Amino acid sequence: MPSPSASHVVIFPFMAQGHTLPLLDLSKALSRQQIKVTIITTPSNAKSIAKCVPNHPDIHLNEIPFPTIDGLPKGCENTSQLPSMEFLLPFLHATKQLQKPFEEVLETMIKSNTPPLCVISDFFLGFTLASCQALGVPRLVFHGTSALSMAIMKSSWVNASQINSLSMLDRVDLPGMKLPFTLTKADLPAETLNASNHDDPMSQFIDEVGWADANSCGIIINSFEELEKDHISFFESFYMNGAKAWCLGPLFLYDKIEGLEKSINQNQNPSMSTQWLDEQSTPDSVIYVSFGTQADVSDSQLDEVAFGLEESGFPFVWVVRSNAWSLPSGMEEKIKDRGLIVSEWVDQRQILSHRAIGGFLSHCGWNSVLESAVAGVPILAWPMMAEQSLNAKLVVDGFGAGLSVKRVQNQGPEILVSRQAISEGVKELMGGQKGRSARERAEALGRVARRAVQKDGSSHDTLSKLIDQLRAY
Ligand SMILES: O=c1ccn([C@@H]2O[C@H](COP(=O)(O)OP(=O)(O)O[C@H]3O[C@H](CO)[C@@H](O)[C@H](O)[C@H]3O)[C@@H](O)[C@H]2O)c(=O)[nH]1
């Protein structure tokens, strides 16, 4: 095994915003501990990453080309550019072709006597394990979500055949797990429910990267011990070789401490949404609406959101990802003084921390959950895909820091959530008793989350221990 240079870590994020952003935050946290970081990524992702890490001389980018493959639109290097989630599997397979250039980067580092202490790579980039093992570099894995959700998914994967015999609304009991909410089969991600279908290409892919995950020598978790302590050892039991889970989050908060906040804020011009929010005089009066960077939302469902927000009577800022959709006729006039619809990238963290924001209609991607909690903003939970139902249950039933939107049953697949459900949910969250109590719980959770990254906080201490451990490998 080559002797690692004292202070150098390689980070290889998966090309999806929700996976990349927290690893950029981790890069900043490491660089502030005198660890040099090399981020490996592809050319178009490098451009957006460079904008996120402009003031960090110890963070370097190393670009490797993204492969051109049949079945994937040309120039598509990030899941947010996929025409729909149907392209996810070809995209995942394309990333496997990054193995050779990745190895070449590591080999060059080793030859030039600057081997990294470790590689931290995303769960989806399972091929990195074999390369790291061949070159004698430890690989730590990053999933992007909580240890609780990962533990539920891993346990469900193992127990898939028993779970498959249940009906969707049946309660699922996972052996050895004490859950903070009642889990039903319907809460489990579609991929997990398909685990026992060994002919399914997505199951095969997850099996492959899951094996690499389980054989990694550590797991980076964007969460904090206070939240995860009851199930962390159960989660670790799915790993070989005594791998430890390191709870270092919320990672984005490392940006906000010890003077860095100042330098970052100085670089920011107030955005259109911030200016709009500044004009709203009542604190906690505006609902922020965003469904993350991956979920496909149909045009008819977007129409229903527009009607629901309008009917609720509350002001809103709504980030819409679809370029093809436009407001139903007559709606623009009705909402012009009360709503801001944005189709470009916004600074979500900044929006959530604005005093005018009082609630978040969210798909419950894990980053959004953390960002909302830290800002003390309660969530109106509308999970759409992946592990989001688990996150939503944790927020609503586990923390009491949100409410759930009511889904329409038996009305066909098109409209999952009606305008009435959206309107009623927004009214209760923003003005009702349940919403008030959810806000108090969100504020309490935010205090614990912020404390975790401060000096002597749990995540802060764990980061120091991780660095010591990396130096000892
Ligand atoms: O205009 C935008 C849109 C998004 N964001 C940020 O993008 C991230 C989005 O992450 P997340 O809320 O987790 O949503 P997704 O991108 O949909 O997340 C994917 O990745 C997450 C982490 O693994 C999973 O929890 C989700 O299920 C999965 O869909 C957050 O940091 C947001 O602040 C912005 O800053 N501006």
**Same-domain pairing of 460 and 446:** no
With CA atoms as reference, report the closest residue to 329 among 310, 347, 313.
Answer: 310
Catalytic residue among 8, 19, 231, 460: 19
**Same-domain pairing of 232 and 303:** no
How far, in Å, are 202, 446, 453 from residue 441 at the CA level?
38, 9, 20
CATH number of the domain where residue 218 is located:
3.40.50.2000
- Closest atom, ligand 1, to C-alpha of 345: 1
**Same-domain pairing of 217 and 345:** no
**Same-domain pairing of 336 and 393:** yes
Q: Does 43 fall in a domain?
A: yes
Whether pLDDT at 53 is above 90: no
Any residues with CB less than 8 A from the CB of 101 and at least 6 apart, and which? 64, 65
Ligand 1 centre to CA of 30 (Å) is 22
**Same-domain pairing of 251 and 288:** no
**Same-domain pairing of 201 and 343:** no
Whether 372 lines ligand 1, by a CB cut-off of 6 Å, is no
DSSP 285-320: -EEEEE-TTT----HHHHHHHHHHHHHH---EEEE-
Whether 292 lines ligand 1, by a CB cut-off of 6 Å, is yes
Q: Does 12 fall in a domain?
A: yes
Catalytic residue among 58, 122, 187, 284: 122
Q: What integer is the mean pLDDT of 185-195?
A: 90
Yes or no: say if 240 and 216 are a contact pair by the CB < 8 Å rule. no
Q: Does 262 fall in a domain?
A: no
**Same-domain pairing of 437 and 384:** yes
**Same-domain pairing of 445 and 460:** no
**Same-domain pairing of 223 and 277:** no
With CA atoms as reference, report the closest residue to 127 among 89, 87, 97.
Answer: 97
282-299 pLDDT tens trace: 999 999 999 999 988 999
pLDDT at 222: 98
Whether pLDDT at 31 is above 50: yes
The rounded distance, in Å, linking the Cα atoms of 397 and 17 is 27
346-394 pLDDT tens trace: 999 999 999 999 999 999 999 999 999 999 999 999 999 999 999 999 9
**Same-domain pairing of 146 and 247:** yes
Residue 8 tokens, joined: 């150098």
Q: Does 263 fall in a domain?
A: no
Q: Which domain holds residue 103?
A: 8-150+158-165+174-256+455-472
Whether 153 lines ligand 1, by a CB cut-off of 6 Å, is no
**Same-domain pairing of 446 and 462:** no
Q: Does 261 fall in a domain?
A: no
Ligand 1 centre to CA of 154 (Å) is 22
Name the domain count of the chain: 2
What's the pLDDT band for 414 if we cut at 50, 70, 90?
Answer: low
Ligand 1 centre to CA of 391 (Å) is 13
Q: Report helix, strand or coil for 12.
A: strand
Q: Does 265 fall in a domain?
A: no
**Same-domain pairing of 320 and 229:** no
Q: Does 266 fall in a domain?
A: no
* Distance, CA of 62 to chain centre: 23
